[in-house]
Structure 1
Amino acid sequence: MSEPRAGDDLERYEGMFRFRDQDYYDRHLVFDHVVPMDGANQRQRFEAVARSLRDVLTQRWLLTKETHHRRNAKQVYYLSMEFLIGRTLLNTVNNLGVRGYVEEDLRSDPHQDWAELLDAEPDAGLGNGGLGRLAACFMDSLATLEIPAIGYGLRYEYGMFRQEIHDGSQVEQPDNWLMHPDPWEVARTTESVEVSLNCSFEFQGGTLHRLPGQPIHMLGIPYDRPVAGHGGRTINTLRLWGAASPDFFDFGEFSGGEFVDAVLYKVMAESLTRVLYPDDSTARGRTLRFVQEYFLVGCSLADIVRRFRDRGNAWADLPDKVAIQLNDTHPAMAVAELMRILLDEARLGWDEAWDLTVRTLAYTNHTLLPEALEKWPVEMFQTFLPRLMDIIYEINHRFLGDVRAKYPGDNWVLSRVSLIEETPARQVRMANLAIVGTHSTNGVAQIHSRLLREVTVADLADIFPGRFSNKTNGVTPRRWLLLANPDLAALLTEALGDSWPRDLDRLAELGPLAEDAAFREKFRAARLAAKVRFGNWLKRDLDVEIDPETLVDTQVKRIHEYKRQLLNVLHILTVYHRLRTDSSFDPAPRTYLFAGKAAPAYHLAKRIIRLINDVAAAVNRDPRARGRLRVAFLPNYGVTLAEQVIPATDLSEQISTAGYEASGTSNMKFMMNGALTIGTRDGATIEMGERAGEENIFFFGLTAAEVAARRPSYDPGWHYQNEPETRAVLDMLSSDLISPGDPSRYDLIRQVLLDHGDYFMHLADLGSYIQTHDRIGNLWREDPEGWTRKSILNVAASGYFSSDRTIEEYAREIWDVKPCPIP
C-alpha cells in the first residue's frame, strides 16, 4: 500500500494512528463491550478498530462541515435509493493511506487476526446493483476531489435479501446486516425531520385498513456515515434516513388491552425502511415502495433547505448554493416537493418557485427499458400526497400549454410528453416529471444518451434540446484496484509511482510496456497471484474449488433477461455437447463463474439461476469435462464478493442485448484489473473498445440498430430448425441430463426462446457468440504473450473510466460547483 506522499502528511498520520499509544483501541474494546482484552471476539475487535478510526476521523469530519458552512460553498446533494458501499473499514484505511500503521499497532494484541477482523464487518445492505455501486463510487470521488457533498439515502434495516441456494434454487433470507451496532454511523436525533401522509390506518379483524384524509406523521431520523476521500483531506457525509413514529405507542390503548393497536404506528413507521425493494408484485409492496420514495425526498429536501437557510441565504440564491442530483427516477418526486416548499413555506410566486426548482435540480437517467421508467397511479398520489398531485397537475397544465404553442394541433405529441398517462390507467410518468422539472438530463454512456434522446424520450429532447447531455459512468480506482488487487496495484506503483490512484490517466503510460517481456512476466505473476488468492478465499468461504491456471470466465450482475445470462448458459451447453459427442474436441480449460440476485417476484430470472446450477451439476460430475470445463454459481453477490472475483477474472462477460444496457460499471472494473471483455456493442463497452482498440475487445452479435431492424421479422424458430447445435442444446433443457426426472422444469425458458419471440434475441446472437468464444479459447491456449499484451493495453486504456473524471464533468457542466479545500 502506498503511504501518504508529503512528509507533513506522513508525520500527521503516524501520530494520529498510534492506537495503542493513545489507548483508542484498548478503550473501545474493553469499555464499549465490558470484556477483558483476551475475552473479546472478532466482531468486538472489529468494532473497536472501527470506532478508533472514527475517533481519529472526527476532527477532520467536523472541520469539513465547519469549513463548508463558514465559506457558504455551493454544495452537491446526491439523492439515491441505493448506496452499495460494501465494507467501510479497509476502504477507509486505504483512502487514508494508513494501513501499515493500523496493522502495526494491532500486532501487540495476540488475539487479533487482521483477515478475520475484516470479515467481521458485513456488507452494508444499502443497495443491490450498478445504480447503488455508482452512487458509492461517486461519493468516494466527491470527497477525493474535495467537492462539498452529502449523499442522501434510506437506512434499510435488512437490505434487499441474503441469497442462499437450496437444491439449485434461489431462496431469499433476511439480510440482517444491522444485527450488531454499526460503529460507523452517528444518529442525529436532534436533526430529525417530520413528514406527513394524507392517509391513516386502522387494524380491524386482523387486516390493516386505509383511512384516507386522516394524516399520519412519521419521523425521519438521520444516521450519518463518514466518507473519507483519498488522502483524508475531506470527509464528506452519507446521511441515511431511518423511519420512526413520533409517539412510541398509545398509552391509553395499551392500558385498555389493545396491545396491537397501541404500537401499530410504531411498527408501520419502522417497516418503511425495513427492506430495500419490497416485492412490487403486490399492491401493498408497490404502496410501500411509493411511500419509501417520498420519505427519502421529503426528509432530504427538508434537511437541504434547513442547511441552506441556516447559512443566511436568500431564496433567490438557491441554485447558486444548492445542486441536487436525482439518481434515476426514484427521487423524481423532488420536483413537486421542492415546489411545495417554495410555494407553501417560502410563499414565493409560481414563476419564481418554478425557475428556482428547475435550476436547482438535475436528473440522471439509468435505463432505456420502458418498464423501468417509473409510473405511479394518480390515485396513489391523491390518497397519500394530494398536495403534490395538485402541483403536478399544475406543472403539466402549464407545460402542455407551451407544447401546444410549439406543436399546434399535434395531439399525439401532447399525449406522449404529458406528465400524466391516461390509458390503460391514469399514472404519473416520473421520468417525464424529472425531465420537465430539472435543468439537466444526462445519460450514462454515449450510446445510452443517444438512444435516450432519439428513441425513449425523443419528443421531450426536441422540446428541451439544451438540457440533454452524456456523462459516461466511472468507478473509483481506490476500491476497485488499489484495495481489491494489491499485487497489480503494487506493480503499477513500481512502474508509475504512487500518484495513479488519484490520477488514473497515468495508466496510459503502461501502453509501451505491453511490448516489454520483463513487464509482461511481472504482470502475469500479479494476475496469477490474484487468482490464487481468490481460489483460497473461495475454498474457505464458499467451499468451491477452482483451478487458477484455467481461463476464468465471469458474468456477475443482477439476473435479468436483457443481461442474457441465458446466452452464456447456451454457450456452455454447446461446449459440453461437443465434449460429449466429439472425442477429439479439446477446448482450452475454462472455469465459468456466475453471480447475481434475481428479484423475488421475477420467476424467469429465478428459473435461470436454477438452470445455471443444474448445468453446473451435470458438467462438474462428468469425467469428460474434468480439467476442461467447470461451472459455478456464487451465492449472495455483493461488493465483497466482487472485490474478490473481479481481479481474478480473465474474461468478462458483457453480453446484454445491444441497446438495452445503459452503461454498465462492472465492465470498467474488469477492464481496470486486466480482464479482457467479450461483449456486444452496448453501454460503455463501446467506449472501452474505442479507447483500448477494438482488436483488444471481443465484440460479437447484432448492433442496437440491427436489433431494432430485425425485430419485426425475427423468427427464433428458424435457428432451431436450421442450426443443429442450437437444436441439440435447446433439446438438452428437457433431458434427464440437465433436469433429471423433471423434463418440464425448463419449459418456461424454451417457451420464452421459441414460442414467445425471444424478445432479447438470444438465438440471433448465439452463433456469433460461440464463434467469438472459439477465438478466445485459441488465443488463451496458443498465444499467452498476445493475451497478456491485450490485457496490459486494457488496463492502460481504463483511466478514462475513473469516477473522478465523471464527477469532474458533473461538477463543471451540470452543477457549476468547485472544490472547497479543507485547511
Structure 2
Amino acid sequence: MEEIKKDNSVKASTAAVSEDTTLKSSFLRHLKYTLAKDEYTATDRDRYKALSLAVRDRLVEKWIKTQQAYYNKDVKRVYYLSLEFLIGRSLGNVLVNLDIYEEARKELLAVGLELEQLRELEWDPGLGNGGLGRLAACFLDSLATLGIPSYGYGIRYEYGIFFQKIRNGHQVETPDNWLRYGNPWEIERPEYLFIVKFYGKVNKYTDKHGRFICSWIDTQDVVALGYDTAIPGYHNNTVNTMRLWGAKSTRDFDLGYFQHGDYERAVSDKVLTETISKVLYPNDNVFEGKELRLKQEYFFVSATLQDIMRRFKKNRQQPIEYRDFPNKTVIQLNDTHPSIAIAELMRIFIDIEGLDWDVAWEITTETFGYTNHTILPEALERWSVPLFERVLPRHLEIIYEINYRFLKGVEERFPGDGGKLSRMSIIEEGDEKKVRMANLSIVGSRSVNGVSALHSEIIKNELFKDFYDYWPKKFNNKTNGITQRRWLRLCNPALSELITQHIGDAWVVDLNELKKLIPFADNIDFQKKWRAIKQDNKRLLAHCLKEKKGVALNVDSIFDCHFKRMHEYKRQLLNAIHAVVLYNRIKAAAKSGNKSALKNIVPRTVIFGGKAAPGYFMAKLIIKLINSIAEVVNSDPEVSDLLKLFFMENYSVSLSEMILPAAELSEQISTAGTEASGTGNMKFALNGALTIGTLDGANIELKENIGADNIFIFGLTADKVNELKQRGYNPREYYERNAELKQAVDMIDNGFFSKNDANLFKPIIESLLNHGDQYLLMADFESYAKCQERVAELYKDQALWTKMSILNVANMGFFSSDRTIKEYADDIWLVKPVDV
C-alpha cells in the first residue's frame, strides 16, 4: 500500500506527546514509547499497531472491572469451548462496540491519517475454517453485549487455515502466517501455565486408606500458555475474555539428550511438542482421525479445564464442595471437537480430587451442553481405539466405564434390543473399534441442541433417534444467528446510517427494531436512497476487483454471489452448470440475430468464493471448472456484459465484509437435509440481498420470517430427497430429458472448457451421471433454472426488487445471535446478565 502522507502535526505531536487522554495522544504515545518510532521511521504497519494499542487501552479498565465483578459476585460462568474462532479483524469491530468509530476517524484525520487505510493493514486471524468458527465469534460478541459472564477457549494456531491462491484456475495452498507481524490485540499470560499430559501408562493400586487409585504416569508433557484477547460488548462496560492456548515445551524436556550430546534430538522433540498449536486443520466437514488432531483437541481441553478448576477454587473454602460446581460452571461444547472434556473432567474429579464415581458423574452431566453442527456421517468424530489408548490411556478407561454403566441403563429400559445397544454404544464395534465422540457428548451432557429447526428435527428423528427416544427432554433447538454489529453496522456503514436516520439506532442491540422499516418499503424516496447505496457498494467492489485483478464488472448487472466453503453438498457445481446454460442462451440469441431476445436478457455477474480442503479432490476440481468456465465466458465478445463469472481467491471475514454490502442475490442452494443451519444466508439477507435457496437449514426459518414472497425457493424438500433416494434415483433420466442441462453437461464432458485436456473434468461428469449424483444436482436443476428465470424477470422491476430487499432487512430480527444467546442462557445455561 502507498505510504500515508503525514502533515506537520505528526512531527509536532511525536516530538512532545501531550498529557491529555485523547485517542490521538494515546496513538502518538504508543508510536513513540511502545514502538520506538518517530515521523521519519514509522511505517504504516507501525501506525496500525500504535492505533490498535491505543484502542486496546480503552478496553483494559473495563476488562479488569468486568473480571473483578464476576469474582466479587461469585457468578455462574459460561465456558464456550471451540476448536475455531473466526473472529476477523479486531480494530473496526472494537471501535464500533466502544462507539468511538467516528471519533477515531476524525482524530486520525487531524494527524493526516485515514482510519480505513490503517484498518486494511490488519491481518485476519487464522483461527477457523468457516461457519463453525464464525458462529463462535458472533457468540462471543453477543455474550459480551448481553453482559453474560463468559469465556471463549480455543487454540492459538500459529498458522491458520491456508492462504488460497488461484493459479491457472487451480487452488494452490500457501501458509497463512497471520502472526508474522505480531498481534497487538492479545496479551500473553505466563502466570497461567498448565501441564498437559500425553501417552504414558496407568498405574493402579490401593492406598493406605483402602482407596483404589489410578495414576497416569510416564507421560510426555506439554506446557499450555494462555493468550488473552478482550471481547467488548456494544456500548456497555462488559469486556469478556477469549483465551487461546499455545503449546510450549517444558523446561526439562528431554535434557537427557543434551547430556549425551544429542542436541539435534532435543531440539527436534521441542519442535514436535510445539507443533500441537502450529497449524489449523483445514477441513471441518470431513473427520480425519489423525494423532495430531486428537492431541490438539485434548491439549486445549485439558488446559481449559485446569483453568476452570483454578477459577472455581479461587473463592472456595476448604474442603471444597464440588456439588456446587454446576451452579457456577457451564461448559458448552461447540461440536464434538472438545468432547474429550467429559472424560477429562471425570478424570480430574476421580483421580485428582478423589470423588466417588457417582458423585463425579452427576456433577459432570450437569455441567456440559453439546451443540451438534453436522448431519454428514463423514464429519462425525470416531477415533480409533488403539490410537486413543496410546495417546490418552486413562481417558479410554474412563470412557469404557461410562459406556458400561450407560448401556446397563439402556438394557434395563429396552431389554433384548441388541440393535439399539449397538447403535447407542460409545464404542463402535467392528474390524477396528472406534470411540464415537458424538455419543459421548450426548451421554455426558444435560442438553443436546441442533442449530436450525430442520436440523434439530433430523437429529431427533434420524441421526440420534435412539438417544431422543431415551432422553426426549434433553434435545432442543437453538437456531444460529449473527451479530448485527459486525455484519451490518461495521461492514455496511452507508446502509446502517440510512436505517438509523429513519428508525433510530436501537436496532444495533435489538435487531427486532428493524421491523420499523416495513412502512418505508413502498416509499419511493426511501427506495431510491436504498438502491443508491447498493449501487455504490457494487461500484466499490467492482473498483477493488479492477485494481487487484484487472477484472471489469458490469455494475448494472445482478451481482449473484455464492460464497461458502467448497463442498459438493453446497452445490457450487449446480450454479456453475447454470452459468453454462445462461452462456448458451446468450450465444444462441446472438447467433440467431434476435436483438430483442438479447435485449431481454438481464445481465448477470456470478461471483464465487470459498476454500476447498487441500485433500478434497472433487471440490478443488470444481474450483478449476468455475475458473475455466469464467475464462471462456469472460473472453467471448458476443457475451460482452451480459454474463461474467469470477472466483474471488482467499475468501475471509474481511473479504466477506466487502462482498455482503454489494450482493444482490444470495445463493443458498445446498441439497435439502444436508446443511445444519448456515449463517451466510443471514448475513447476505441482513445486507439486503435476496435469497435463492432450497428449504434446507435455516432457509426454512428465513422464509417464515421474511415471507414466502420475498425469497426464491426451489428444489426438493428433505422428505422428497429421502423418498427419491429410497425409490431409486437415476440422474441420467433428468439429464436426458432436459436439453439445456444435457448440452451444458456435455460441453463440460467434451472438453469445451478444457481444450488442453479434454478429460480434465471427466471425474465431475462421472460423479453426476454414473456414480449416483449424491447431492441430486440433476434432479433439482430444472427447478433451479426456472427459479433463476423468476429472479431475472423480477430484477427488471427495480421498485419491486428494492421493496423485497427492504422487507428482507426489516424482518431479520430473529436471526441476531443476541436472540440465540438469550435462548442458550435461559433454556440451557440458566445464567443471568451481570451489570459491570
| TM-score normalised by structure 1 residue count | 0.94
Alignment correspondent of 1:222: 226
1:302-341 CA-to-partner distances (Å, cap 9, x unmatched) read 1111101112163111111001000001011111111111
User: Structure 1 CA distance, aligned partners of 2:283 and 2:59?
Assistant: 38
User: Structure 2 CA distance, aligned partners of 1:196 and 1:214?
Assistant: 9
Would the alpha carbon gap of residues 605 and 199 (structure 1) be closer, same or farther in structure 2, given more than 3 Å must change?
Answer: farther
> What secondary structure, in the 3-state scheme, does the structure 1 residue paired with 2:241 have?
strand
Preserved contact between residue 248 and residue 263 of structure 1 (Cα < 8 Å) = no
Q: CA deviation at 1:672?
A: 0.6
Alignment correspondent of 1:449: 456
Letter in 1 for 2:51: V
Please state if 1:162 is matched with 2:169.
Answer: no
In structure 1, the gaps of 5 or more residues are 1-14, 201-211
Q: CA deviation at 1:250?
A: 4.8
Alignment correspondent of 1:820: 834
In structure 2, the gaps of 5 or more residues are 1-18, 202-215
Would the alpha carbon gap of residues 72 and 469 (structure 1) be closer, same or farther in structure 2, given more than 3 Å must change?
Answer: same
Please state if 1:460 is matched with 2:461.
Answer: no
Letter in 1 for 2:791: I
Task: Give the alignment of 1:213-612 within 5 angstroms.
Answer: 214-247=218-251, 250=254, 253-254=257-258, 257-277=261-281, 286-312=290-316, 314-583=321-590, 584=594, 585-586=597-598, 587-612=601-626
Q: CA deviation at 1:71?
A: 0.6
User: Structure 2 CA distance, aligned partners of 1:513 and 1:753?
Assistant: 46
Q: CA deviation at 1:278?
A: 6.0
Q: CA deviation at 1:27?
A: 2.1
1:531-568 CA-to-partner distances (Å, cap 9, x unmatched) read 22222233334443322221000010100010000100
Alignment correspondent of 2:211: none
> What secondary structure, in the 3-state scheme, does the structure 2 residue paired with 1:150 have?
strand
User: Structure 1 CA distance, aligned partners of 2:321 and 2:106?
Assistant: 51
Preserved contact between residue 332 and residue 369 of structure 2 (Cα < 8 Å) = yes
Alignment correspondent of 1:42: 44
Q: 2:648 aligns with which of 623, 627, 634?
A: 634
Task: Give the alignment of 1:613-628 within 5 angstroms.
Answer: 613-628=627-642
Q: CA deviation at 1:109?
A: 2.6
Would the alpha carbon gap of residues 255 and 108 (structure 1) be closer, same or farther in structure 2, given more than 3 Å must change?
Answer: farther
Letter in 2 for 1:221: L
Alignment correspondent of 2:212: none
Q: CA deviation at 1:263?
A: 1.1
Preserved contact between residue 633 and residue 645 of structure 2 (Cα < 8 Å) = yes
User: Structure 2 CA distance, aligned partners of 1:16 and 1:100?
Assistant: 19
Aligned CA-pair RMSD: 1.8
Would the alpha carbon gap of residues 674 and 560 (structure 1) be closer, same or farther in structure 2, given more than 3 Å must change?
Answer: same
Q: CA deviation at 1:735?
A: 3.5
Q: CA deviation at 1:385?
A: 0.6
User: Structure 2 CA distance, aligned partners of 1:340 and 1:263?
Assistant: 32
> What secondary structure, in the 3-state scheme, does the structure 2 residue paired with 1:500 have?
helix
User: Structure 2 CA distance, aligned partners of 1:305 and 1:625?
Assistant: 65
Letter in 2 for 1:421: E
User: Structure 1 CA distance, aligned partners of 2:501 and 2:710?
Assistant: 25
Q: CA deviation at 1:381?
A: 1.5
1:607-648 CA-to-partner distances (Å, cap 9, x unmatched) read 000001001101000012111000000000110010000111
Q: CA deviation at 1:144?
A: 0.2
> What secondary structure, in the 3-state scheme, does the structure 1 residue paired with 2:555 have?
coil
Letter in 2 for 1:267: V
> What secondary structure, in the 3-state scheme, does the structure 2 residue paired with 1:751 have?
helix
> What secondary structure, in the 3-state scheme, does the structure 1 residue paired with 2:104 have?
helix
Would the alpha carbon gap of residues 85 and 349 (structure 1) be closer, same or farther in structure 2, given more than 3 Å must change?
Answer: same
Would the alpha carbon gap of residues 301 and 807 (structure 1) be closer, same or farther in structure 2, given more than 3 Å must change?
Answer: same
1:55-103 CA-to-partner distances (Å, cap 9, x unmatched) read 2211111011111011111100000000000100010001111012212
1:365-408 CA-to-partner distances (Å, cap 9, x unmatched) read 00111111111111111101111101100110011000001111
Preserved contact between residue 377 and residue 427 of structure 1 (Cα < 8 Å) = yes
Preserved contact between residue 17 and residue 98 of structure 1 (Cα < 8 Å) = no
Would the alpha carbon gap of residues 168 and 61 (structure 1) be closer, same or farther in structure 2, given more than 3 Å must change?
Answer: same
Alignment correspondent of 2:150: 149
Q: CA deviation at 1:254?
A: 4.2
Preserved contact between residue 125 and residue 178 of structure 2 (Cα < 8 Å) = yes
Alignment correspondent of 1:206: none
Q: CA deviation at 1:238?
A: 0.4
Preserved contact between residue 280 and residue 286 of structure 1 (Cα < 8 Å) = no
User: Structure 2 CA distance, aligned partners of 1:649 and 1:248?
Assistant: 56
User: Structure 2 CA distance, aligned partners of 1:383 and 1:345?
Assistant: 21
Preserved contact between residue 698 and residue 772 of structure 1 (Cα < 8 Å) = yes
User: Structure 2 CA distance, aligned partners of 1:479 and 1:546?
Assistant: 26
Q: 1:693 aligns with which of 693, 697, 707?
A: 707
Preserved contact between residue 29 and residue 37 of structure 1 (Cα < 8 Å) = no
| TM-score normalised by structure 2 residue count | 0.93
Alignment correspondent of 2:32: 30
Identity of aligned residues (%): 46
Q: Structure 1 stretch 79-88 or stretch 284-293: which is displaced more?
A: 284-293
Q: 2:96 aligns with which of 94, 97, 109?
A: 94
Alignment correspondent of 2:819: 805
User: Structure 1 CA distance, aligned partners of 2:321 and 2:789?
Assistant: 65
> What secondary structure, in the 3-state scheme, does the structure 1 residue paired with 2:479 have?
coil
Q: CA deviation at 1:257?
A: 4.4
| Number of aligned positions between the proteins | 793
Letter in 2 for 1:451: I
User: Structure 1 CA distance, aligned partners of 2:433 and 2:283?
Assistant: 22
Q: CA deviation at 1:489?
A: 0.2
Preserved contact between residue 650 and residue 676 of structure 1 (Cα < 8 Å) = yes
Preserved contact between residue 280 and residue 289 of structure 1 (Cα < 8 Å) = no
Please state if 1:70 is matched with 2:72.
Answer: yes
Alignment correspondent of 2:793: 778
Please state if 1:684 is matched with 2:688.
Answer: no
Letter in 2 for 1:462: D
Preserved contact between residue 278 and residue 288 of structure 1 (Cα < 8 Å) = no
User: Structure 2 CA distance, aligned partners of 1:221 and 1:492?
Assistant: 44
Letter in 2 for 1:306: R
Preserved contact between residue 750 and residue 759 of structure 2 (Cα < 8 Å) = no
Alignment correspondent of 1:205: none
User: Structure 2 CA distance, aligned partners of 1:246 and 1:101?
Assistant: 46
Would the alpha carbon gap of residues 42 and 542 (structure 1) be closer, same or farther in structure 2, given more than 3 Å must change?
Answer: farther
User: Structure 1 CA distance, aligned partners of 2:373 and 2:283?
Assistant: 21
User: Structure 1 CA distance, aligned partners of 2:707 and 2:647?
Assistant: 32
Q: CA deviation at 1:251?
A: 5.4
User: Structure 2 CA distance, aligned partners of 1:402 and 1:480?
Assistant: 47
Q: CA deviation at 1:164?
A: 0.5
Q: CA deviation at 1:461?
A: 0.7
Preserved contact between residue 187 and residue 222 of structure 1 (Cα < 8 Å) = yes
Q: CA deviation at 1:28?
A: 1.3
User: Structure 1 CA distance, aligned partners of 2:321 and 2:100?
Assistant: 43
Preserved contact between residue 598 and residue 605 of structure 1 (Cα < 8 Å) = yes
> What secondary structure, in the 3-state scheme, does the structure 2 residue paired with 1:593 have?
strand
Q: CA deviation at 1:247?
A: 2.2
User: Structure 1 CA distance, aligned partners of 2:660 and 2:69?
Assistant: 38
Task: Give the alignment of 1:744-763 within 5 angstroms.
Answer: 744-763=759-778
Q: Structure 1 stretch 312-321 or stretch 267-276: which is displaced more?
A: 312-321
User: Structure 2 CA distance, aligned partners of 1:197 and 1:147?
Assistant: 34
Preserved contact between residue 282 and residue 613 of structure 2 (Cα < 8 Å) = no
